[in-house]
Amino acid sequence: MKRFLFRRILQLIPTLFIVAIIVFFITRMLPGNPAAVMLGPQASAEDIAAYSEQLGLNEPLHRQFFDYLGNLVKFDFGNSLSYNQPIADLIMERFPNTVILAISALIIAVIIGVPAGILAAKKQNTFLDYFITTFSLVGVSMPIFWLGVMLALYFSVNLGWLPSTGMGSLDNGLWDFLSHLILPSIALATIPTAQFARIIRSSMLETISHDYIKTARSKGLREFIVINKHALKNALTPLLTVMGLQFSNLLGGAVLTETIFSWPGMGLLIVNAIEKRDFVVVQNTVIFIAVIYVVINLIVDVLYKVVNPKINLDSDKGGA
């Protein structure tokens, strides 16, 4: 376990380095001078030139890059000029909001997707199975932007039941908090729900054909236990993989969903920072998200071990 963690942390370094390179150069490819964008259309040419100088934009590109790397190594995220506050604060303010949205979407996906997948597998080739399979096929290919807009239009504009923008606060009561959360969570949960249902269905079908399921039945166990204990635990490994991927995706900030519902999370932060050409914010937010990705993957690998005792994390074969 220790060796495993050590190896994984070492692997983190080249990953982050590559991410840093990519995001640095992509942001530089955006059209428009950041100084000009930030100062607005009224700014004079001299102001813009002076501001560019102050931002270090006149330095050669490689100098800018190494300065940026140097700061990263020192864990110095720097300041955001457009928000006028330290970027670390900015991230810490937004990240919990993204976590809330991601967790609630994941909960919905697990609560609906997993039982649906189990049911479809148990009733293979029945109407129920076809129904669930069709729905999950539609679900995984759902355009989230469209779905989000439809949800907002119907439930908040037409029916007026739920707010369609912003985040509620617990200070205004539980309902204020939940009501703001519902629509974006549903939009965000759609694809993972469908994906979980599909994964669980196919891995359950595979698992149910194993001998140990026949053994479980031959012992006189109830069918409920045979399915939900003996088969399910074996079927969880592939689910864990997609769950980890989905969760790190969600934590990276659901850019579309957060934009549609003006949810003040990481996704919206990046979008706004790009609009304002606030490169440092974009770069450091993306780096932060990359770290989260790696950490989640690490947790998933440790969970594999919990689900499947055969996996030995310290051997080279393990964890795959």
Partner 1 sequence: MSESILNVKNLQVEFKSGSIITRAVNGVSFALNKNENIGIVGESGSGKSVTATSILRLIPSSSAKITGGEIILNGRDLLKLSNREMRKVRGNEISMIFQDPSTSLNPVFTVGNQLIETIRAHKKLTKKEAKQRAIELLELVGIPAPEKRINMYPHEFSGGMRQRVMIAIALACDPKILIADEPTTALDVTVQAQILNLMKDLQEKLDMSIIMITHDLGVVWEMCDQILVMYAGRVVESAKVEDLYHNPLHPYTWGLLESQITESQDSHAPLASIPGSPPDLSYEIKGCPFVDRCPYAQDICHNEAPKLIEPTEGHAVACHFQTETEKLERRENAYINGDTIRS
How far is residue 159 CA from its own chain's centroid? Answer: 30
To partner 1, the closest distance from the beta carbon of 232 in angstroms equals 10
How far apart (Å, rounded) are the C-alpha atoms in residues 236 and 239?
5
In whole angstroms, how close is the CB of 209 to partner 1 at the nearest point?
9
**Exposed e or buried b per residue across 260-278, where buried means at least 16 C-beta atoms within 10 angstroms of its C-beta:** bbebbbbbbbbbbbeebbb
Which of 67, 222, 314, 315 lies at the binding interface for partner 1 (CB under 8 A)? Answer: 222
Closest distance to partner 1 from the beta carbon of 214 (Å): 6
Per CB under 8 A, 295 contacts partner 1: no
Task: Give the integer Cα–Cα distance in Å for 126 and 135.
Answer: 14
Binding to partner 1 by CB under 8 A, coded x per residue (else -) over 228-267, reads: -xx--xx---------------------------------
Single out the segment in contact with partner 1 by CB under 8 A; choices: 136-144, 180-188, 258-266, 304-312: 304-312
Q: Which of 40, 60, 160, 309 binds partner 1 (CB under 8 A)?
A: 309
Query: Which has the closest alpha carbon to 205: 117, 126, 127, 130?
Result: 117
**HSE value, Cβ hemisphere, 13 Å, CA-based, for 216:** 18
Helix ranges restricted to H, 143-251: 144-151, 174-208, 211-218, 223-225, 232-251
- Residue 58 interacting with partner 1 (CB under 8 A): no
Does position 216 bind partner 1 by CB under 8 A? Answer: yes
- Binding positions for partner 1, rule: CB under 8 A: 124-125, 210-212, 214-223, 225, 229-230, 233-234, 307-310
